[in-house]
Structure 1
């Protein structure tokens, strides 16, 4: 099990961009107002467990239904592409179901906001290129960031302001778009070999 700082840094940035916890601050604040309380620690731990379990058994599930990791990575690249377009252009392509009461800590915060389809797809896409140990470190780093953001969401919103959050979202959208293109080009070649 050899840790590679470059892989950890890249995987951390990719997951950070996909999870987009900074861009979710307004949603988190709204959920806090509606549900009264969100357990930052519980949401972070549940999201980490879901992501790590999926990292290990996701490929087996895919194999069971006859899909290889490269095919899933190409599909994941498309999802990342559309998430990036949403972030850059400020449009909504994916619709989220509403209807939450006291379960906001688990749903929709832990799943699907943090450990959602985008981050789970990203994990398997990253696994096609990086070591599992490095991806786990990236998950832990992101969960710590998520925990800090959930704990300090009100203060962060006041500090960054609406414009600051919008700028961060656009910057990470462009990074995510470049990553989607890289994932697509590196995995599409494997399908035709």
Structure 2
């Protein structure tokens, strides 16, 4: 197969980054938890909570996108090694999504319960971190920034966070429209796509670590 032209290659890279980040942030899957955390909030408080959470999550992901290589170098970790490890983590997350199991990269029950008692902190913890910008999202961003243009990754983060704001702002409508069955089906489909992307991450990392392993 001939190599893709630069424009098509960049478009393909951007779509991969966008889909990967959207799936792992999973704004649709987080709708029930968001509704539970803000159940007695007035409409104005809900809007301000969403805005703060999205801004903080965006900042966290952009920082890790820009500083990911520096962090890896500080700990003496090679990018291909991190890519393989990140791919394995994402694949395990994808399996849990396909099986409709709770994701381990989200907030723990203790964090959610504490946030429920300390209402003023819901926007930052657990909504922004670790629900929207959790270990899975941070890993995805760092892996992508090591193999794609950081500009494309940051644009993807911004687009996903705009979509996240819209979805959470319409959370009640989304939950009613999709229902439990619809949201479960959507999660499984997204998990399958994420599994494919994770395998690509692993294959790319192994190809860089062992250049001869893909040779015929």
Tell me the TM-score normalized by structure 2.
Answer: 0.83
Cα distance between partner residues in 1 of 2:82 and 2:88: 10
Segments ≥4 residues shifted beyond 3 Å = 34-38
Gap runs ≥5 in structure 2: 1-5, 212-216
Residue by residue over 1:47-95, the C-alpha shift from the partner in whole angstroms, topping out at 9 and shown as x without a partner, is 1111111111122111111102211111111110111011101224627
1:83-122 to 2 correspondence within 5 Å?
83-92=93-102, 94=104, 96-97=107-108, 98=110, 99-100=114-115, 101-102=118-119, 103-122=121-140
Worse overlay, 113-122 or 34-43: 34-43
Distance 1:11 1:56, change over 3 A: same
Question: CA RMSD for the aligned pairs?
Answer: 1.8
1:1-193 to 2 correspondence within 5 Å?
4-33=10-39, 37-38=45-46, 39-92=49-102, 94=104, 96-97=107-108, 98=110, 99-100=114-115, 101-102=118-119, 103-193=121-211
Gap runs ≥5 in structure 1: none
Q: Which structure is larger by alpha-carbon Rg, 1 or 2?
A: 2
Cα distance between partner residues in 1 of 2:22 and 2:15: 10
Q: How many angstroms does 1:5 deviate by? A: 2.5
Q: How many angstroms does 1:28 deviate by? A: 0.9
Q: How many angstroms does 1:34 deviate by? A: 6.6
Q: How many angstroms does 1:6 deviate by? A: 2.3
8 A contact 2:28–2:183 mirrored in 1: yes
Cα distance between partner residues in 1 of 2:16 and 2:40: 35
Q: How many residues are paired up? A: 192
Tell me the TM-score normalized by structure 1.
Answer: 0.93
Residue by residue over 1:24-65, the C-alpha shift from the partner in whole angstroms, topping out at 9 and shown as x without a partner, is 111111111277744111111111111111111122111111
